[in-house]
Amino acid sequence: MDNSSYFSLGATLYTPCNHPNLQTIMSNGLGSKSMVFCTEDAVPEHELEHSIGNLRSSIKKLSQDKATFKRFIRPRTPSLLAEIMQFDGIENIDGFVLPKYDLSTCDDYHRVLKHSPIYFEIMPTLESLDVMEPLKLPKIRESLKNIKGEVICLRIGGNDLFNILGIKRMPNQTIYDTPLRMIIENLIINFRPYGYELSAPVFDMMDDQETLNKELALDVNYGFFGKTAIHPKQVSIIEGFFKNYSISHIEQADSVFKEYAPAVYRMNGQMMEVTCHSNWAKRTISLANSF
Contact 87, 53 (CB under 8 A): no
Residue 268 gets the label, from left (phi > 0), alpha (psi -120 to 50) or beta, of left
Query: Residues annotated as binding site?
Result: 71, 133, 160
For residue 33, report the phi and psi dihedrals to the nearest 5 degrees: -80, -15
Separation in Å, CA 7 to CA 124, 208, 238: 16, 25, 13
Contact 116, 89 (CB under 8 A): no
> Which residue, 85, 152, 77, 147, is CA-closest to 121?
152
Strands 95-98 and 150-151: unpaired
Instruction: Provide the angle, in degrees to the nearest 10, between the axes of the packed helices 180-191 and 158-165.
Output: 130
Contact 273, 263 (CB under 8 A): yes
Query: Residues annotated as binding site for substrate?
Result: 71, 133
Query: Residues annotated as binding site for Mg(2+)?
Result: 133, 160
Beta bridge pairs of residue 15:
37
Stated length of the chain:
291
| Residue 54: exposure state from Cβ atoms within 10 A (0-12, 13-18, ≥19) | buried
